Amino acid sequence: MTQTSENVTWLTQDAYNQLKAELDYLSGPARTEIAKKIEAAREEGDLRENGGYHAAKEEQGKQELRVRQLTQLLQKAKVGEAPADDGVVEPGMVVTIAFDGDADDTVTFLMASREYASADIETYSPQSPLGSGVNGKKVGDDAEYELPNGKKAAVKILAAKPYQG
């Protein structure tokens, strides 16, 4: 999980290890693989009309951007413990909310940095409108946040448990 405050990103040890492993792969084996693809495409001839070459160069650019993002994130990271199971909404918690107090209209999400988003569970950043509206609230509390159109939305905190993923 991550919790961002100004220049520091807080990570659990598991989150740090996962991001570090991704960085190690991208800056090692993945770099070698893409260099080989570029070289193979370059040997095919005219680079102006070589789709394989351009695709490989674009992939290389995306990989290098991710390497820079991860390097910067991990340099500023502080490793800490997962949040306590105390029912308080904070980064690292799986939160269930009900819109306008309607128990049939609920959403469950992980409150964490976008860096930790996964396909397993929807992730909301603590800086997002919903994330900032519920951050610090307790189970049973009502919260309000601003929608993109400027209107306010009300939610009730139904559950907040530490993420076990």
CATH of the domain at 153: 3.10.50.30
- Domain carrying residue 75: 2-80
**Region 42-71: what's the mean pLDDT?**
89
pLDDT at 6 over 50: no
My answer on whether 74 and 99 are in the same domain is no
Closest by CA to 116, choosing from 89, 139, 93, 87, is 93
Clarify whether residues 100 and 132 are in a common domain: yes
pLDDT value of residue 9: 67
Q: How many domains does the chain have?
A: 2
At residue 48, does pLDDT exceed 70? yes
**Are residues 8 and 71 located together in one domain of the fold?**
yes
In the predicted model, what is the mean pLDDT of residues 52-63? 92
Structure tokens at 14: 């598991």
Q: Same structural domain for residues 116 and 62?
A: no
* Whether residues 53 and 101 fall in one domain: no
Q: pLDDT band at residue 2, thresholds of 50, 70 and 90?
A: very low
Q: How far is CA 128 from CA 4, 14, 25, in A?
A: 12, 23, 30
- Asked if residue 24 has pLDDT above 90, the reply is yes
23-42 average pLDDT score = 93
Q: Can you tell me whether residue 160 is helix, strand or coil?
A: strand
Residue 76 has pLDDT above 70, yes or no: yes
Q: Residue 81: helix, strand or coil by DSSP?
A: coil
Over residues 116-165, the pLDDT tens digits come to: 666 677 888 888 899 999 999 999 999 999 988 999 999 999 999 987 76
- 85 found inside a domain: no
Same domain? 36 vs 101: no
Residue 15: give its domain's CATH number: 1.10.287.180
Confidence (pTM): 0.59
pLDDT the model gives residue 83: 75
